[in-house]
Chains A and B, each alone.
Chain A
């Protein structure tokens, strides 16, 4: 018996403030003007993508005590730009990364509920936990949260926000002019939540939104992060985009669902993916190499090396050999505000591997960094790329991909024009949006809404 074909989910990630984004290309446009956001969102909607995705970082990154200036720097406020994009799109989901440490549930819940209303049910929230004191310096509470408490706060933040979303059931507004009854319930939106992180009560002021609540994404990679996703998220934004790695992650996370009484179709796995397209596979391979060189300048190569070595290596020649000295394994001080630094879990071992590779292949620092960091996920002609994407999804390495173009804002145009029609021909990607909400387009069950009786439900305040 053959398995039915899985339908692929695709999203467009606005190019980020990291070296994937090639700002030096002559075609590279503004990273802050609204026209760039509108261009990418419209391309994504033209291609029938599920959603548009925005990352967030609340402090400019630093390296060697200075603001890091080699990548794109600067981005808009997530909610504000997504609300504006709702005006220039009709079907596209609008996913925003919003931190659970330097925000409060009441405000975030009213922002997401508002975005969901103003987009007709297209809002999604990527719940991230960046907690560091460095970022905290921009906020009232400073670096108040220890690292080990980040997911406890995220869990209870999300639970609290959901209590706020659910505090209105959807049948409170009568708006009956004749009878003079606006509200069917004199005290709508009651909530009361008391735990170690949040001690709040009252009435929520945004009535129930079209989706009930935003679609929930999670992007942490630790065991705790995966558990959080298994218990509470609708989708995961992961880094595991290759076949073997993707399959392992997919099996791991989907395997955690049963414990929470959930089924595998209730959590989508969507890794980040980059792509390089050309007329032939050979041309694409050449182009991919050129793009890698653009992404890793000599200065960027040194900066990457410093992030592993945790030392000032500004005196080294990027076209020369790797440093003889070992990484400093003490407290990480060289780069701040960069989540990826913690990916180097054993810097000494990684440095040993890098040295061995550089020696074996006679690589300079820059060549080594090009080789060990971020090769593009999909490289080839449109038909090769379509086939590769389909293969990974059908093999349960993912349920689709969040595509990160390397050129702003036109970097998705060619994919939309050439690859998407091939996926549609294969019968694995929609030709029309299935529903009006993001939940519907992601194939997620609608949330129970109106029918909940006023007296019951886990979130109702006692009073």
Chain B
């Protein structure tokens, strides 16, 4: 089983920062993030993800709030990942990047560089943004206000399809740029004075509905060849993005039947996209509140709910219980076709440590989780081979 954690501020519960062991004054420091990722690595996790967005966190759907009782303000996720990379050795680092307002050229070289500074542990989680207020931070495009009521109208459906089509183009460009240098392009040939063999650098000449990118990248092909690409998906359109573009899809099933149904939908879309033979992992997302007994875990979550003034709910299943109970659930969902899990700790460090110090040993006892890091890079940890370069031989599909 593959296991990862999703890091976000003081944890996923809006009152997590008020827990006795929380460090709300440290959220903008390098030391805080280094401690969390080091803890994840101590637990032999496959990777951590870093949440991000291009606006302040908000409790409201698609617009800012004015709350003063929750964590607000954050750091760029790619740079947090880079800052912790030299201080860790095995755990994968997957920052979130918003594709809608950023340049695929910049993100491609940023993640390639993350792969260099981490020696092969980089990934990228892509996210779309459709909110008017994030668009106003850039001033280059406008989006109509989002309301839950509009969901499902033809206009909203078109918006959604466009957003994810653009994301697919974006990932395509990012990936082509990663391949725009062949692995052995640097030759340092003293006889001819040539540093590179320009026959092994490739213009990508991408031209699409939203942007055109010439290439090649300014950064040589990263150590993993293709860093791991992930996306979170809750519905058919984003499932198609996962199926077309990603190595890992994060999904939010409510039970194992639902998990089976989502996996089957993604597999169908994968087939449809012509990627049936390529490995694509579907990971289940869960928010977890763990305790030494089920009642203690529940009490802790209720205490946080009281502080927050509302019962915490999520797009993902909210689990409260013991590490052994969580292990039971994960093993059952694994049977439904999930390759692994991305656990969102309700509160940090309590639930992060419960994952690394209680859940992991529990899974190890059941023979379901590694006892040591066994592979040299993130792709290998995930059982993904190093892909051939799409430009390396003419025999390969140049797309």
Interface residues of A (CB under 8 A from B): 23-24, 32-34, 38, 57-60, 66-67, 69-77, 79-81, 83-84, 86-88, 102-104, 106-107, 110-111, 113-115, 117-120, 137-140, 142, 168, 172-173, 175, 177, 180-189, 198-203, 205-207, 297-300
Report how far A207 CA is from B27 CA in the complex, Å: 11
- The reply on B272 being an interface residue by CB < 8 A is no
In the complex, what residues of B have CB within 8 A of residue A33's CB?
116
C-alpha gap A419/B198 in the complex (Å): 40
Contact A182 B68 (CB under 8 A): yes
* A200 to chain B: closest residue by CB: B139
Q: Is the CB of B201 within 8 A of A67?
A: yes
How distant is A281 from chain B, measured CB to nearest CB, in Å? 30
Offer 29 A-B interface pairs, CB within 8 angstroms, sorted by A: A34-B119, A57-B218, A69-B196, A70-B194, A79-B76, A81-B82, A81-B117, A83-B78, A86-B30, A104-B140, A110-B75, A110-B76, A111-B79, A114-B80, A117-B30, A118-B75, A118-B80, A173-B25, A175-B24, A181-B69, A182-B17, A182-B71, A184-B68, A188-B72, A188-B73, A205-B73, A205-B74, A206-B75, A207-B73
| Least distance between B64 CB and chain A CB atoms (Å) | 6
B67 close to A206 (CB less than 8 A): no
Contact segment of B99-107, B156-164, B225-233, B259-267: B99-107
Nearest-CB residue, chain B, relative to A88: B86
Pick the residue among A74, A106, A113, A140 that contacts B218 (CB under 8 A).
A74
- Does A140 lie within 8 Å of B103, measured CB to CB? yes
The 8 A-B pairs with the shortest beta carbon distances in the complex, nearest first, are A83-B82, A84-B117, A137-B214, A80-B113, A186-B66, A175-B24, A77-B113, A76-B113
Q: How far is the CA of A75 from the CA of B57 in the complex (A)?
A: 34
Q: Are B79 and A80 in contact (CB under 8 A)?
A: yes
B276 interface hit (Cβ, 8 Å)? no
A360 to chain B, nearest CB (A): 28
- Assess the A102–B30 pair: CB atoms within 8 A: no
B43-93 contacts to A, CB under 8 A, are 53-57, 64, 66-76, 78-80, 82-87
Contact A104 B138 (CB under 8 A): yes
Instruction: Return the contact of B24 from the options A69, A74, A110, A177 (Cβ within 8 A).
Output: A177
Give chain B residues whose Cβ lies under 8 Å from the Cβ of A201.
Answer: 136-137
Residue of B nearest to A191 (CB): B137
Query: CB distance A87 to B84 under 8 Å?
Result: yes
Give the interface segment out of B185-193, B243-251, B281-289. B185-193
**Beta-carbon nearest neighbor of B69 in chain A:** A180
Is A60's CB under 8 angstroms from B113's CB? Answer: no
Is B18's CB under 8 angstroms from A180's CB?
Answer: yes
User: Closest CB of chain B to A241's CB: distance in Å?
Assistant: 26
Chain A contacts of B198 at CB under 8 A?
A: 66-67, 69
Q: Report the minimal beta-carbon distance from A54 to chain B, rounded to whole angstroms.
A: 11
Contacts of A202 in B (CB 8 A): 55, 64, 133-134, 136-137
Complexed CA–CA distance, A105 and B102 (Å): 11
Q: Which residue of A lies closest to B68 (CB)?
A: A183
- Residue contact B79 to A297, C-beta cutoff 8 Å: no
Contact A300 B193, CB 8 Å, known A67-B201, A81-B82: yes
- Known A114-B80, A182-B71; contact A60-B138, beta-carbon cutoff 8 A: no
Q: With a CB–CB cut-off of 8 A, which chain B residues contact A203?
A: 55-56, 64, 133
A-B contact count (CB 8 A): 228
Known: A59-B218, A74-B181, A111-B76. A80 touches B196 (CB 8 A): no
Say how far A6's CB is from chain B's closest CB, in angstroms: 34
Q: How far is the CA of A66 from the CA of B82 in the complex (A)?
A: 33
**B160-213 residues at the A interface, CB under 8 angstroms:** 181, 186, 188, 190, 192-198, 201, 210-213
User: Complex: how many Å from CA A72 to CA B187?
Assistant: 10
- Of B28, B84, B186, B210, chain A has the most CB atoms within 10 Å of the CB of B28
B70 contacts across to A, CB distance below 8 A: 182
| Distance, CA A201 to CA B198, complexed state (A) | 44
Contacting pair A104 B101 (CB below 8 A): yes
Bound Cα distance A327, B38 (Å): 60
A118 to B72, CA, bound (A): 17
Q: Are A79 and B79 in contact (CB under 8 A)?
A: yes
Contact A84 B82 (CB under 8 A): yes
B68 near A186 with CB under 8 A, answer yes
Q: Tell me whether A84 and B211 are in contact in the complex, defined as CB-CB below 8 angstroms, given that A59-B218, A70-B193, A177-B24 are known contacts.
A: no
From known contacts A87-B87, A110-B76, A182-B68, infer whether A142 and B212 are also in contact, taking CB-CB under 8 Å.
Answer: yes
Q: Which residues of B contact A199 (CB under 8 A)?
A: 139
Chain A residues with CB under 8 Å of B74's CB are: 205-206
Given contacts A67-B201, A87-B86, 11 further A-B contacts (CB under 8 A): A73-B186, A74-B181, A81-B82, A104-B138, A117-B75, A118-B75, A186-B68, A188-B73, A203-B55, A205-B55, A206-B73
Say yes or no: A74-B117 contact (C-beta < 8 A), given A139-B103, A198-B139.
no
The smallest C-beta distance from A68 to any residue of chain B, in angstroms, reads: 9
**Chain B interfacial positions (CB closer than 8 Å to A):** 15, 17-18, 22, 24-25, 28-30, 34, 53-57, 64, 66-76, 78-80, 82-87, 101-103, 105-106, 109-110, 112-114, 116-117, 119, 133-134, 136-140, 181, 186, 188, 190, 192-198, 201, 210-216, 218-220, 307
B129 to chain A, nearest CB (A): 12
Q: Is the CB of B78 within 8 A of A200?
A: no
Q: A residues within 8 A CB of B86? A: 34, 38, 84, 87-88
Nearest A residue (CB) for B88? A87
**Contact between B28 and A117 (Cβ–Cβ < 8 Å)?**
yes
User: CA–CA, A88 to B198, complex, Å?
Assistant: 34
Distance between Cα atoms of A173 and B56 in the complex (Å): 13
- Contact at A299–B68, with CB atoms within 8 Å? no
Complex CA gap A202/B101 in Å reads 15
Q: How far is the CB of A381 from chain B (nearest CB, A)?
A: 30
| Bound-complex Cα distance A117 to B211 (A) | 33
CA gap between A205 and B56 in the complex, in Å:
5
Residues of B within 8 A of A111 (CB): 76, 79
Docked Cα-Cα span, A300 to B195, in Å, equals 12
Inter-chain contact A106/B196, CB cutoff 8 Å: no
Contacts of A71 on B, CB cut-off 8 Å? 195
Residue of B nearest to A205 (CB): B56
B181 to chain A, nearest CB (A): 7
Q: Is the CB of A117 within 8 A of B29?
A: yes
CB–CB B137/A200 < 8 A: yes
In the assembly, what is the distance between CA of A188 and CA of B114, in Å?
A: 31
Of B28, B79, B85, B210, most buried by chain A (CB within 10 Å of CB) is: B79
Write out the residue numbers on chain A whose beta carbons fall within 8 Å of the beta carbon of B76: 79, 110-111, 114, 206
Contacts of B25 in A (CB 8 A): 173, 175
**Chain A nearest Cβ from B134, distance in angstroms:** 8
Whether B68 contacts A80 by the Cβ 8 Å rule is: no
Q: Assess the A83–B219 pair: CB atoms within 8 A.
A: no
Q: How far is the CA of A87 from the CA of B86 in the complex (A)?
A: 6
B68 in contact with A77 (CB, 8 Å): no
Q: How far apart are A451's CB and chain B's nearest CB, in angstroms?
A: 20
Q: How far is the CB of A174 from chain B (nearest CB, A)?
A: 8
Kindly report which residue of chain B lies nearest to residue A120, judged by CB atoms.
B30
Closest to A138 in B: B105
Q: How far is the CA of A186 from the CA of B58 in the complex (A)?
A: 12
Q: Are A76 and B84 in contact (CB under 8 A)?
A: no
Contact of B83 among A118, A205, A206 (CB under 8 A): A118
* Chain A contacts for B84, CB-based, 8 A: 87
Task: Considering the complex, give the chain B residue whose CB is closest to the CB of A72.
Answer: B195
Q: Are B137 and A106 in contact (CB under 8 A)?
A: yes
A23 to B79, CA, bound (A): 29
A76–B55 touching, CB < 8 Å: no
**Closest A residue by C-beta to B25:** A175
Interchain CB contact under 8 A, B73 and A173: yes
* Set of chain B residues within 8 Å of A59, measured between Cβ atoms: 214, 218
- A117 contact set on B, CB distance < 8 A: 28-30, 75
Set of chain A residues within 8 Å of B140, measured between Cβ atoms: 104
